[in-house]
Structure 1
C-alpha cells in the first residue's frame, strides 16, 4: 500500500529517537488507521527490530519475539522460559547497538499474560534507560492501550517519552489520495471515510459507482464484511452493538430513538453506548453552546464515514446484495446518497472553517460545532467569547443554487441561538455545492461570506 501523509507523526517519532537517552513511545489508534504502515515507514531508515504479535499461546509469542531478536543479531536462538528472560536478552543486545524495537499489537501479549506490562516496566527501568535505543509499543485495542499502557494503574504509567494517537485522515489529508474532482471527492470520502486502507482500495480511474459496486457491494470484496470483522475482533457478542450502529446510521440519534429502534432498554443501552464510544465507533455530540457531559441534548453519530455508509446501506440490504447488488445500488443507494453525503459535507465545511482560522483568512473562533434546539438546527456555529463574536453558517448539498430563502432562514434561527450578549457581533456564512443565485452576494452585507465548492477546495488545498 502506498504510504501517504503522516508527516507530523513520522517527525515526532524521529525527534524522540534522535533525542538524548532512551525512549518509550506509545502508538495507538483504531484498526486499519495506518499505524503499522507509519511504523514501517519510520523504521525503514533506522536499525530496528519489528515484532508483530498475534493471538496465540503465550509461549509461542515469547518464542517468536526471541527469534526476531536473535535473527537481527545473527545469533542462535537462546533457550527462554519467561518474559523476564526475553527482556533480559533484549537488554543485553541493546547494549551493543542503538536501535528501534517495535512491538506491534502489544494488547495481544497482554491478553495472554496481564503481567507483561510489569515485565516491560522492569526492562524500561533497569535496562532500556542505560541505552540510547527506543521501544515502541503499538496497539489497535484503544481501551487496552489506554488502560494497560497509559492509564494511572498501569506499571508503565509516566514512563512514556512520546505518545501518538493515530487518527483517520481528515478530508483535507485524504485529498492526496482521492483524485476525483471536488464534488466526487466529497462523495467518495462520505463512503470510505479517512481510513487509509479503505481509501486506497478505491481505483480513482473508475467512477464512484463502479468502486462501490466492486469494493463494497461484492461479497468477495474486503469491505463487504469489514465492519462485522472489526466488531468481532473487539467484542465477544457483537449483535447488539451492530443493531445500535445500524440504528444510529439510519439517523436514530438520541438515546430514546436508539432504544425504540433496537428494543434495548435505557439502562443496558447506556453501557453499550459507552463501549462503542470507547472503541471510537460512535461519537456523542452536544450543541456547541452546551456544557459537554452535563447536557441532556446529546446526539450520537457513527464516528467513521465508511461504517456509517455500511450500516446505512449494506447491513440492512445484505440478502438483496447477495442476489442483485446492482439493483441495490441503483434503487436504494444512488437515490439516497445525497442525503448521506450532506452530513459529510457539513464536516468538510467545518474543516474549511478551522483551516481558514489557521491561515488567518477567517476570524478566530475558539469553538466550532453544530447547534440545535427543538426544531431549530444550525450546521456550523463558531464561538469567540473574548470578542463576543458568533459565526452562524449553513451547508447545502443540493442540486440548486442557494438563494435569499436560506439567508432569511439563517437570520431567523440566529435569534434562537442563546449565547453572548444582546449586542454580540454576528457573522454569517453559506456553503453550497451548486453555488448561489445571481446577485446574492451583492445584496448581502460584509458580515456574510459565501463559499462554493471552488472556494472550499482552495481553502483546503496546500499552501
Structure 2
C-alpha cells in the first residue's frame, strides 16, 4: 500500500488509542476520541481507512460532502446501515429525524462488549451546515458515545476550523486527542521512490510529499522522466490535485485565489503582491492575505535579527502548490491541448532559479531537525534575514527566538546547484552579510548540494546529512 510508506507512527498511534478503548463497565468513560487535521489530499482518509481495515473491529465510516443538513443526515444514516456494526439494522426500522437523535441512536447500536470505531470525515462541513453541530456532538459524546468502548475519529481539512474545534471555550474542548497529519517527508519520499538524497529533495519539492502524486512516480525514475509523463496526461494527479484542493478551500473567494496566484508566481512583498493581483486596495489585500495565512496556505515571514522589522515577506507553504502555481496553472490550456512538451521545456529553463528559493524553507527545517550535532547548537528558531532593499540577504539565521532575537546562534548560506560547490566567493559574501547583521563572530554554516570547496566555515551540510535528519 504505497500511500502508507512512512505512516508507521500514525498507524501505531491509532492502534494505541484503540487498545485504550476498554469494555463498558470497567471504566465509566471507556471511549476515546481523536481529532485528525491536515491539508486536503494529504492522505488522512486513506490512513484511517487502512487503520480500520486492519483493526478488524465493528466500524462505520461517514464522509460529509457539504450538502444540506437533511442530505447529510440521510447519508450518515445510510453509512450506518451499510457499516459493520452488529446492530445496524435498528436504522432500517427507525430513521432519526435530526442529528441529535442520529448520534444518540448510533450510541445505542455500538457494542458494549468489544471495541468499535466511528469515523466522521470532513467534520468542518457539518460545523458549517448543521446548526449548533459542535454542541450536538459534545452532548452526544458526553452523555452516550464516550460511555461505549468506541474510538471516535473526527477528520477535517480546514486546519483553522479543526484547531478551533478542540480549543478553549468551544463545546468539544479537551474531549479528544489531536493528530496533525503532514505530507510524506523527504526521507519517506526518497524511500518510496528509490531516489538518492539530492533527488529525494527534488521529488519532495515537486510532489509536496502528497501520497497520491508520489504513487504516480515510477520508483527509480528521474525528475524529468516523471514530469514528462505527468504533463502528457491532462488528468494526472500532479495537474489536478491543486485545482481540486483550491476549489474546496475557496468555493466563494475569488480574491483569495487571485492573491494566492500572485504569491505563487513569486511575488513576496505586500506592494508587489497588490500590483500582481490587479492593483487591489490595501484593505482587500490585507483581508485576503490573512485568510490565506489562517488556512496555513501562506506564511508571512519576518526577518530574524536582534532588531525589530516590519518588512514581511509572503510565501506559499506547500512546495507542490508553489510549483503548480508557478509552472502548471498558467499553462493548463497548453497541457490540455496535449502540448505538455512545451510546458516541460519551460520548467527546464526556470527550474534552477525556482528551486533555489523554493527549497530554502525545507532545508532550514531539515537543519532544525538535525541540530544539535556537536558542532552547532540546537536553535529554537531558524529562519532568514533580509533588508528592505535586499542589499543583504542571509539564507539561514539560527537564534534563541523569532523574529526579534536576544542571541544569534549561527548564520549561513544555501547553494543548491547540481554542478557548483560552495566556494571562496560564497564564503566572502556570507562573511560580508554577517557583518551587516552583527559585529559578533557568529558561527558560519553552509548548505550545499554539490559540496564545499573552501575553508573557514564552522559547519557544512549536504543532501545526505539533511535527508538523514528526517529518519526517525
TM-score range, shorter chain: 0.7 to 0.9
1:448 alignment counterpart: 458
Question: How far, CA to CA, are the matches of 1:123 and 1:452 in structure 2?
Answer: 53
CA contact (8 A) 2:198 2:464 kept: no
1:313 alignment counterpart: 327
Question: How far, CA to CA, are the matches of 1:164 and 1:290 in structure 2?
Answer: 34
Question: How far, CA to CA, are the matches of 1:135 and 1:221 in structure 2?
Answer: 34
Question: How far, CA to CA, are the matches of 1:387 and 1:290 in structure 2?
Answer: 6
* Structure 2: gaps spanning 5 or more residues: 23-29
Question: How far, CA to CA, are the matches of 2:104 and 2:462 in structure 1?
Answer: 61
Which of 320, 324, 334 is equivalent to 2:348? Answer: 334
Question: How far, CA to CA, are the matches of 1:276 and 1:215 in structure 2?
Answer: 28
Structure 1 residue 200, shift from structure 2 partner: 2.1
1:90-239 matches, cutoff 5 A: 90-94=106-110, 96=112, 97-147=114-164, 149-160=165-176, 162-216=177-231, 218-239=233-254
Greater than 4 Å deviation, 4+ residue runs: 358-361, 384-389
SS in 2 for 1:225: helix
Structure 1 residue 67, shift from structure 2 partner: 3.5
Greater mean deviation of Cα atoms: 382-391 or 224-233: 382-391
SS in 1 for 2:155: strand
SS in 2 for 1:297: coil
Are 1:410 and 2:410 matched, yes or no? no
CA contact (8 A) 1:383 1:391 kept: yes
Are 1:430 and 2:441 matched, yes or no? no
Structure 1 residue 217, shift from structure 2 partner: 5.6
* Structure 1: gaps spanning 5 or more residues: none
- The one-character-per-residue Cα deviations of 1:126-174 (angstroms, maximum 9, x if unpaired) are 1123223221111112233234x224453222322x0112222332343
- The one-character-per-residue Cα deviations of 1:376-419 (angstroms, maximum 9, x if unpaired) are 1111111248995521111112332221111111111111224x
SS in 1 for 2:371: helix
Relative to structure 1, the CA distance from residue 217 to residue 370 in structure 2 (aligned partners, 3 Å threshold; closer, same or farther) is farther
2:67 alignment counterpart: 56
Which of 30, 46, 50 is equivalent to 1:41? Answer: 50
Structure 1 residue 26, shift from structure 2 partner: 0.9
Question: How far, CA to CA, are the matches of 1:274 and 1:14 in structure 2?
Answer: 37
- The one-character-per-residue Cα deviations of 1:282-339 (angstroms, maximum 9, x if unpaired) are 1111112378xx8411110011111111111122233433442212211x11011011
Relative to structure 1, the CA distance from residue 394 to residue 108 in structure 2 (aligned partners, 3 Å threshold; closer, same or farther) is same
Greater mean deviation of Cα atoms: 268-277 or 222-231: 222-231
CA contact (8 A) 1:356 1:362 kept: no
